[in-house]
Amino acid sequence: MQTKKQSFLESLVNVSVGFLITIISLNIIFPFLGIESHVGKNMLITIYLTILSILRNYILRRYFNKRQNTT
């Protein structure tokens, strides 16, 4: 079982990698699709989605850890 700190650290590392991939991807895909955007807007979108991802990963990890210990 992971501690809460380990769950948070795992979520943070996982989402940090996703953050970098998303920043690069947005700068490639938006122009390709004809969507005008700027680095600042891309960063804001990515930061928002990153926060959601950290929370989602942490909550799911804690849920499954708790569920695993009750069975």
Give the range of the structural domain holding residue 42, as residue numbers without chain letter.
4-70
Phi, psi values for residue 4, rounded to 5°: -60, -40
Q: Which two tokens stand for residue 22?
A: 């998303």
Residue ranges of the chain with per-residue pLDDT less than 70:
71
Q: State the pLDDT at residue 34.
A: 92
d(CA 26, CA 43): 9
Question: Which residue is it, tokens 């895909």?
Answer: 29
Q: State the pLDDT at residue 13.
A: 86
Cα–Cα nearest to 22, from 45, 55, 56, 41: 45
Residue 6: which residues within 8 A CB-CB, separation 6 or more?
Answer: none
Total number of domains in the chain: 1
One-letter amino acid at 10 equals E
Q: State the pLDDT at residue 71.
A: 63
pTM: 0.63
